Amino acid sequence: MKHITLGTGGLEVGRIGLGCMGMSAFYSGAGSDEAESIRTIHRAIDVGVTLFDTAEIYGPHLNEELLGRALAVRRDEVVLATKFGLVRKPDGSRGFDGSPANVRSSVDGSLRRLGTDRIDLYYQHRIDPDVPIEETVGALAELITEGKIHHYGLSEASPETIRRAHAEHPMTAVQMEYSLWTRDPEHAVLPVLRELGIGLVPYSPLGRGFLTGAIRSIDVLDEDDFRRHNPRFVGDNLASNLRILEEVDAVAAELDATPAQVALAWLLAQGDDIAPIPGTKHVSRLEENVAADALVLGEEQVLALTELDAPRGDRYADMSPLNG
């Protein structure tokens, strides 16, 4: 697999990573087959994946523990990324905590669950509007000095927050949803990242599974799958959004590829500072996704995909992911 460097601090990664969330939380079948998930993680390393992404909120804690078990004898072969700052309140709702005290308690918990002495890339999962970003980043900079983390990043941060954080201590990467299904970073965030020399790690690069072509009706999703309540997957919105998939299918047919491979290849064509992290818990899907590294789209195909209409429906039903 081709490698790229995120940020200016020399963090080298395979340009397709692995998002591990769905192995333990939120999606259909999460947590149902740990053995297959571990096989998928090991196979990912074998085929050149180096960047593995998790978070303390996934489970909560279960996904970090799973990844720790899977990487127990292969830790030095990977770039390990996890996230803090998105917390679950006693009533079940979510909140934010970017306080220096939480930064320290969270990293110690993640290190313990992951079974490692350092985290390669540590993200603030969501920005805490009640804590100045300089205070949060100041605590992260201390962890870098101590060797507990090697690089830091932000997830779903605004251009202003990115600038302030980077001025406090150089940032390596920003994680945002970015795909043919979600183009938001192109308008304001990506130009700032390129100005500052910060990498972009797109999560949900397959549109939460939509761009694989496997979800043409929510009836295929388990009752507890959060996509059943996601605006883009319900009612007339889903029916309308299938037109996007038809266009991706058409390009895939031209290249003898799958829709997922085309969607990932389009992302990779957007620049050599982008490392998407498609998620899966199955070896077969992993191998399909990684094969996109070798797929080259023609200029006309890239243009046709770039000009696709935006999907109908908001990204989330009950909260804005961009809060700082």
d(CA 113, CA 115): 5
Of 114, 134, 132, residue with least CA distance to 55: 114
pLDDT tens per residue across span 279-310: 999 999 999 999 999 999 999 999 999 999 99
Q: With a cut of 70, list the residues of the chain below it in pLDDT.
A: 318-324
Share in percent of the chain as helix, strand, coil (round to 5): 45, 15, 40
Query: Which residues are annotated as catalytic?
Result: 58
Q: What pLDDT is attached to residue 30?
A: 73
Q: What pLDDT is attached to residue 26?
A: 74
| pTM of the complete model | 0.94
| Cβ-based neighbour number of residue 234 at 10 Å | 15
pLDDT tens per residue across span 51-72: 999 999 999 999 999 999 999 9
d(CA 288, CA 36): 16
In the chain the domains, ranked by start, together with CATH numbers, are: 3-306 (3.20.20.100)
89: left (phi over 0), alpha (psi -120 to 50) or beta: beta
CA 310 to chain centre: 20
8: amino acid identity, one letter: T
pLDDT tens per residue across span 118-160: 999 999 999 999 999 999 999 999 999 999 999 999 999 999 9
Cis peptide before 321 (omega within 30 of 0): no
The residue whose two tokens read 């740990």 is 34
Could you say which DSSP state residue 315 is in?
S
Q: What pLDDT is attached to residue 323?
A: 39
